A and B are shown apart, each in its own frame.
Chain A
Amino acid sequence: MMRWHHRLYVTLRGWFQSSALDRELEEELQFHFERQVSANLDAGMTPEQARRSAAIAVGNFDPIRETSRDGRAGALLRQFGRDLAHGMRLLVKAPAFAVSAIAIMALGVGSVAAIFSVVYGVVLKPLPFHDPDRLVQVWSLNNGQRDGVNGADHRDWRAANTVFTDIALVNNLANFNLTGAGEPERLLGARISANLLPVLGVSPMLGRNFTDGENEVGNNNRFVLLSHALWQRRFASDPSIVGQSIRLAGTPHEVVGVMGPEFQYPGRQFQFWIPLTINPAEIARKIPAFGLWAIARLKDGETIESAQSQMTVIARRLEARYPMNKGVGVEVVNLQSDLVVNVRRALYVMLAAVAALLLVAALNLAGLLSARAAARSREIAVRLALGASRQRVLLQTVAEVMPILAAGGVLGILAASWATRAFVPLAPATLPRVENITVDTTVLLVSIVVLTVAGLLACLLPAMQAWRSDLTAAARDDSRGSAGSARHTRARHVLVVSQIALSLPLLTAAVLLTRTFTAVTAIDPGFRTDHIVSFHLAIPRSTYRDDPAIARFERAILERLQSLPGVTSAGMVNRLPLAGGAQAAWLEFEGSNPERLLISNRVATAGYFSTLGIPLLEGRTFDDRDGVSAPVVAIVDEQVAKQMWPGQSAVGKRLRTPARPDLTQPSPWMEVIGVVGHVKHEGLDVESSGHVYWNYEQRTQDRAAYVVRAATDAGPLIPAIVRQIRDLDPDQPVYDVRLLDEVLDRSVGQRWLAMVLVGAFATMSLLLCCIGVYGVIAFGVTRQRREFGIRLALGASRAAVARAVVSRGAALAVIGAAIGLAIAGVVTRGMQSMLYGVSSSDAPSYVIAATAVLVVALLASYIPARRAASVDPANTLRSE
């Protein structure tokens, strides 16, 4: 026991009191000398003899001092510190090398850190709720298709299950206008059941949660929880807001609480939460609504599988009991993985791409370092010959790389942190959890680990060179080449081939994504986007009490817009194309087979079709004949016309809302007055189903998207447009004002981003390959100047010499490309789901990628080849 204390004490002194130890040793050695002198005096020598004899007997103290220091704890570290300083000086002396090496490392690490911060923030970071792994989302399965949950089912699930602590409900569609005290604005909120916060395990930062009573129908819409962001922005972080009343959708709502800043459920754009009330008809299973999200917490000991099996049994029981539940199953999924399921694959592909880039960067750096080490092999050999241990030389090699890694790492992480901040506002709307993307501690730690691994990889070859350094051969002459340096040249060739092999899958992926993007953007959306500006309104029913009032307001806006100078036409629809998520309803089609179909519908004005250039194929569009009191008419798109009445004209045919047994009568028949072109409503690359359009005066909606076509540029019209609405109703917020071109661009934003990012990574790795090939070929040419001189002297043509050099680069590229193609063939299969209109085994894409690599390798070899060809034989032969 004592011994360990003692050793610890000695070690610590060695670390922290090195100079004190030096002084003690000095004193001890001095004493030894003097004691010898006094012994000599005792033996009868003269003082001078005594001192000289003692000096001889005692000998030189220096080796003792050095052994003492080297033996102390921390000696290795101090040594390493000196090596680091030495490495730094070497770098300063070779600024070109230093800058390129640091840039390569910064590039590699920075890209990895940036992409990893996105992957971590979006996919991996735990949700900011209590014990988030136990949170699940429960979906209804309508004939196998995922669907929202019905209020009645929720009630029955809650009563019957024993696997969840509770099941909460969310309806995420609640956008309201906030008015009073400042600009009117439209806010996105969610309706939540009172038990949502307890299920998530969070509570309001200020005030309280809703009570069960506030979820009752009679209590409708009187209470609100504010998001932290809204509270800060709109209410100046005033805590006394709790208990006060704010106007949402024209109705006063009592603020019961404010949530903490980390609560952003279901997304960062949600600014308030109000109690969810469920229509009694839904609870009574009188209307087949499947629009709610069910969030539940697993009890301790339960798993997703056990919950799934119990919920399946419950769903079967409900299916047997209620006709409405026919074919309705249930699916239990982890809440977090469900949130990100659509983007996970794409993000992992990005991460793989950036990892490949980092690997290429590390190999490239290894090549640079190895060439440098080769150039210094003589120095190393001399040091070994003078007695430096191989460990010391090895450590020194590592120490010289450390400043590169440190500088590259710091720069890379700074760049990544800047890039993520710049990226978040640009992130495609389809990317969830964007608010989490930041370079935080986890990202930092991972980056440091990645940096270390990459650094070790880069050090490996030069360190091996130093370790195995052949004393005699290197000391004799390096430039002529020994067995050892031939081995290192081979090793550098392997490095270059690996870089090419790793770059090829990246390039292939970039080509595939570019072809995908081209294919997607070439798709005809079915409408024109040029010179059109769009904006949205949420018209409050508290101000405009009934449908005719809303329709009148909508018409008034339309008339004002049409009379604006510079506007050629204007129209309105309840939801823009490409925005997806339209309403769908069952319709019965007269004289068709199948007779009934669940079909999407939109509400529009006549001007909507002409403004967007949606062609009228047959019949007419809406006009003044189709007013509030006139018979309801419909326009169908060509897809519906073809599907329901193939080979016939749809104009004049009739359709209606079918009866539901025991519940409702069918609606009156409605006449089809026109057929219009099909529009991509869900997205360019999504095969959307057919559409039915209703007239806005006959089927009025309080959500309106206006489209305004300008004679020239639509952008400058925006202020005038907003002013028109303000003139009509100063309390009416206008939101999402966008050029339609931009709407189209945003709909392919995720694909664009994937293409640009992977393309950038591929370009960078190609550039690194270029540097790598150039480096190794140029190195070879320098070593072989003499050989080229002899060849030229013996009559070889300069072209032949140049060809020989270029063909070396080509050989590396061909081998690398062959291996790379094999790798690409396997790994690009993983990105099939990101592709459109092109297969992951698309041969031309591979050919393009391989050709790019070959061309780059040839270009990179060309400069050294010219140098080889321009060798002056006489000069070279004389100089050696």
Chain B
Amino acid sequence: MSKPTDLVQGTVDLLIMKTIALEPLHGWAIAQRIRQLSDDILQVQQGSLYPALQRLERQGWITAEWGASENNRRARFYRLTKAGKKKLEDEEANWQRLSGGIGLVLRRA
């Protein structure tokens, strides 16, 4: 297996929103979850994770509040806003269409 791929900006946003769609997570857990779910293929660096979180928060797709972590420490938990849920659906559909299209080209060309 090659080393974990760096992710382009737009995709990070999509992955973050998807991982917190089910339950609120803190930053470390988001990175961990993306890594696990992608079988270690995708790795989000802290340098992209936190700016992305702040960007999403500014845009109003996600919101954050302080809570207790699994090891009982104060952590900042992110969850989707209502608008964020809608945005996620749109982005997912977009992604499906895009990757489907790319797949078609790769198969047929």
Bound complex: CA of A160 vs CA of B30, how far in Å?
89
Contact A64 B51 (CB under 8 A): yes
Q: Is A27 part of the binding interface, using a Cβ–Cβ cutoff of 8 Å?
A: yes
Greatest chain B CB density within 10 A among A28, A29, A60 is at A28
Partner of B45, one of A36, A38, A59, A68: A59
Q: Is B59 part of the binding interface, using a Cβ–Cβ cutoff of 8 Å?
A: yes
Q: Is B58 part of the binding interface, using a Cβ–Cβ cutoff of 8 Å?
A: yes
Contact B60 A31 (CB under 8 A): no
Q: Is A6 part of the binding interface, using a Cβ–Cβ cutoff of 8 Å?
A: yes
Contact B47 A63 (CB under 8 A): yes
A64 — which chain B residues lie within 8 A by C-beta? 46-47, 50-51
Q: Is B57 part of the binding interface, using a Cβ–Cβ cutoff of 8 Å?
A: yes
Contact A6 B63 (CB under 8 A): yes
Contact A31 B47 (CB under 8 A): no
- Type the 1/0 row for A4-45, where 1 means its CB is closer than 8 Å to any CB of B: 101100110010000000001101110110111011000000
Given contacts A14-B58, A25-B50, A64-B47, 19 further A-B contacts (CB under 8 A): A2-B82, A2-B83, A7-B60, A28-B50, A29-B50, A31-B28, A31-B69, A35-B28, A35-B29, A38-B71, A61-B46, A64-B46, A64-B51, A67-B50, A67-B51, A68-B50, A68-B51, A68-B54, A71-B55
Pairs A–B under 8 Å by Cβ, sample size 25: A2-B83, A3-B82, A3-B83, A6-B63, A7-B58, A7-B59, A10-B57, A14-B58, A24-B76, A25-B50, A28-B50, A28-B75, A28-B76, A31-B27, A31-B28, A32-B28, A35-B26, A35-B28, A35-B69, A38-B71, A39-B32, A59-B45, A64-B50, A67-B54, A71-B55
Contact A31 B26 (CB under 8 A): yes
> Taking CB as reference atom, which chain A residue is nearest B82?
A2
B54 — which chain A residues lie within 8 A by C-beta? 67-68, 71
B19 — which chain A residues lie within 8 A by C-beta? none
Bound complex: CA of A27 vs CA of B50, how far in Å?
12
Q: Is B3 part of the binding interface, using a Cβ–Cβ cutoff of 8 Å?
A: no
Bound complex: CA of A24 vs CA of B74, how far in Å?
11
4 residue pairs, one from A and one from B, having the closest CB atoms: A3-B60, A3-B83, A35-B28, A67-B51
B60 — which chain A residues lie within 8 A by C-beta? 2-4, 6-7, 10
With A64-B51, A71-B55 already in contact, the answer to whether A32 and B81 are too (CB < 8 A) is no
A6 — which chain B residues lie within 8 A by C-beta? 60, 63, 81
Q: Is B73 part of the binding interface, using a Cβ–Cβ cutoff of 8 Å?
A: yes
> Chain B residues in contact with chain A, CB under 8 A?
26-29, 32, 45-47, 50-51, 54-55, 57-60, 63, 69, 71, 73-76, 81-83
> Chain A residues in contact with chain B, CB under 8 A?
2-4, 6-7, 10-11, 14, 24-25, 27-29, 31-32, 34-36, 38-39, 58-61, 63-64, 67-68, 71
Bound complex: CA of A14 vs CA of B58, how far in Å?
9
A31 — which chain B residues lie within 8 A by C-beta? 26-28, 69, 73-76
Partner of A28, one of B27, B47, B59: B27
Bound complex: CA of A58 vs CA of B69, how far in Å?
19
> Taking CB as reference atom, which chain B residue is nearest A60?
B47
Bound complex: CA of A67 vs CA of B46, how far in Å?
12
Bound complex: CA of A4 vs CA of B46, how far in Å?
28
A29 — which chain B residues lie within 8 A by C-beta? 46, 50
**Shortest distance between the CB of A549 and any CB in chain B (Å):** 93
**Shortest distance between the CB of B96 and any CB in chain A (Å):** 24
Contact B73 A34 (CB under 8 A): yes
Greatest chain A CB density within 10 A among B28, B63, B71 is at B28
Contact A32 B27 (CB under 8 A): yes
With A2-B81, A71-B55 already in contact, the answer to whether A27 and B47 are too (CB < 8 A) is no
B74 — which chain A residues lie within 8 A by C-beta? 27, 31
A36 — which chain B residues lie within 8 A by C-beta? 28
Contact A32 B46 (CB under 8 A): yes
> Taking CB as reference atom, which chain A residue is nearest B58?
A10
Bound complex: CA of A773 vs CA of B46, how far in Å?
58
Bound complex: CA of A83 vs CA of B10, how far in Å?
33
Contact A59 B82 (CB under 8 A): no
Partner of B51, one of A11, A14, A39, A71: A71
With A2-B81, A24-B76 already in contact, the answer to whether A71 and B27 are too (CB < 8 A) is no
B26 — which chain A residues lie within 8 A by C-beta? 28, 31, 35
Bound complex: CA of A7 vs CA of B83, how far in Å?
12
Bound complex: CA of A24 vs CA of B65, how far in Å?
11
A71 — which chain B residues lie within 8 A by C-beta? 51, 54-55, 58
Bound complex: CA of A29 vs CA of B50, how far in Å?
9
A10 — which chain B residues lie within 8 A by C-beta? 57-58, 60
Bound complex: CA of A34 vs CA of B58, how far in Å?
26
**Shortest distance between the CB of A37 and any CB in chain B (Å):** 11
> Taking CB as reference atom, which chain A residue is nearest B83?
A3
A63 — which chain B residues lie within 8 A by C-beta? 47
Bound complex: CA of A58 vs CA of B76, how far in Å?
17
Bound complex: CA of A68 vs CA of B50, how far in Å?
8
Bound complex: CA of A14 vs CA of B29, how far in Å?
26
B73 — which chain A residues lie within 8 A by C-beta? 31, 34-35
B76 — which chain A residues lie within 8 A by C-beta? 24, 27-28, 31
Contact A58 B58 (CB under 8 A): no
A58 — which chain B residues lie within 8 A by C-beta? 46
Bound complex: CA of A39 vs CA of B35, how far in Å?
14
Contact A59 B63 (CB under 8 A): no
